[in-house]
Amino acid sequence: MGNGIAQVFAQHGFNVTLIDVSDAVLQQAVNRIEGSLSKLQQKGKLSAEQVAGARERLGTGTSLSAAATSELVVEAVSENLALKSKIFRELDGLLDPDAIIASNTSSISITTLGAVTHRPAQVAGMHFMNPVPLMPLVELIRGAATDQEVIDTIHDLCLRLGKTPVLAQDYPGFISNRILMPMINEAVFALMEGVGTPEAIDTVMKLGMNHPMGPLELADFIGLDVCLAIMEVLHQGLGDDKYRPCPLLRRTVAAGHLGRKSGRGFYSYAQEAAIAR
Ligand code: CAA
């Protein structure tokens, strides 16, 4: 999601440095941003000047030191506590003491991430939704030690990004995934038990409940490994068996079928993956 977050900041007048592990990965991210900006221009949502401005404001780097002078860093690495903690420690040593470190985590504790730094008051959650350029919500998460001033700053920032911020307290899954993931997990149970085909389950939720995507289609879009990781956090953090990940979700992830990004999940995307490569 990092490319979408960087794009939205650049679109709204902020200088952004997108950091990733290699030039090849960064090039893919820049290509995605280019594609999205062109689409938004084609649809009349951005002018040619706005697209050019966004491109100018976007830089890239392969080292965290490229963020050393930033006032805000939004971390968006995979849902892995050890990896996020390592990055938070490193950023804490690099950034100005007043800088804010935010995480785009979908379920990992902001309080825990804040505690690995010497600035827990300036650590918060900024949870964007996918696809970031289109989705209006940003869930803001207040850790146990987060300053109200920091929440006010990131709240105003979201408004400047054209997003609607909603505040959640730091409990597993926050608001969004506390509600979304059990629904997706239940859809996987319904599939495992043969209650309906993937198409039937998704059609019921799309046409019966007006959801833009069915739960299985949405799970493929989010990434089945991400869905599983979030269910594990809910199960462990809330200690209730109603959050146990469905065995079919575990099995599908174990098979390497991670959804759209791997070309197969509950549906097959062979053609799409081939085009993306
Ligand atoms: N940038 C610019 N344009 C984009 C885009 C992007 N990143 N992604 C899609 N579009 C464009 C599409 O190309 C398409 O353009 P055309 O009309 O020219 O074809 C247009 O947006 C609309 O897309 P679709 O035609 O595919 O149809 P849609 O109306 O269904 O919109 C959608 C797509 C907004 C993704 C919609 O299906 C939707 O809202 N789905 C649910 C998304 C959702 O629930 N997201 C949250 C996931 S949870 C999460 O992110 C957090 C977590 O912690 C797990």
Give the position, in ligand 1's atom list, of the atom nearest the Cα of 221: 47
**pLDDT for position 277:** 35
What was the pLDDT predicted at 139?
98
What's the pLDDT tens digit per position in 217-235? 999 999 999 999 999 999 9
User: What average pLDDT does range 119-146 have in this prediction?
Assistant: 98
The pLDDT score that the predictor gives to residue 51 is 97
Give percent above pLDDT 90 in the chain: 96
Whether pLDDT at 45 is above 60: yes
Q: Which of 3, 104, 106, 185 is catalytic?
A: 106
Average pLDDT over residues 5-16: 98
Position 216 pLDDT exceeds 70:
yes
Tell me the pLDDT tens digit for each residue of 153-194.
999 999 999 999 999 999 999 999 999 999 999 999 999 999
CA-to-CA distance for 85 and 20, rounded, in angstroms? 16
Point out the ligand 1 atom lying closest to the alpha carbon of residue 226: 54
Q: Give the model's pLDDT for residue 133.
A: 97
Q: What is the mean pLDDT of residues 97-114?
A: 96
Nearest CA to ligand 1 atom 12: 39
Q: How many angstroms is it from 202 CA to the middle of ligand 1? A: 16
Side chain identity at residue 236, one-letter code = Q
pLDDT of residue 270: 78
Tell me which residue of 176, 212, 215, 186 sits closest to 199, measured CA to CA: 215
Q: What is the DSSP string of 5-28?
A: HHHHHHHTT--EEEE-S-HHHHHH
The predicted structure's pLDDT at residue 182: 98
Ligand 1 pocket residues where CB is under 6 Å: 36, 39-40, 106, 129-131, 133-135, 176-177, 212-213, 218, 222
185: tokens are 């997990």
Cα distance from N-terminal residue to C-terminal residue, the chain: 18
Average pLDDT over residues 135-139: 98
The CA R_g of the chain, rounded to the nearest whole Å, is: 19
Active site annotation includes 211? no
In the prediction, which pLDDT does 274 show?
46
**106 catalytic, yes or no?**
yes
State in Å: Cα 134 to ligand 1 middle.
6
**Distance from the alpha carbon of residue 275 to the mean position of ligand 1, in angstroms:** 18
Confidence of residue 275 (pLDDT cuts 50, 70, 90): very low
For residue 271, the model assigns a pLDDT of 64
Instruction: Give the atom of ligand 1 at the shortest distance from the alpha carbon of 129.
Output: 50
Query: DSSP E strands: which ranges in the chain?
Result: 16-19, 58-61, 72-75, 100-103, 123-128, 137-142, 164-169
User: Is the pLDDT at 199 greater than 80, yes or no?
Assistant: yes
Between CA 117 and CA 88 the distance in angstroms is 7
Overall average pLDDT of the 31-54 stretch: 97
Angle between helices 247-254 and 224-238 (to 10 degrees): 140
pLDDT beyond 60 at 276: no
Exposed/middle/buried for residue 48 (C-beta within 10 Å: 0-12, 13-18, 19+): exposed
Q: Give me ligand 1 centre to Cα 36, in Å.
A: 11
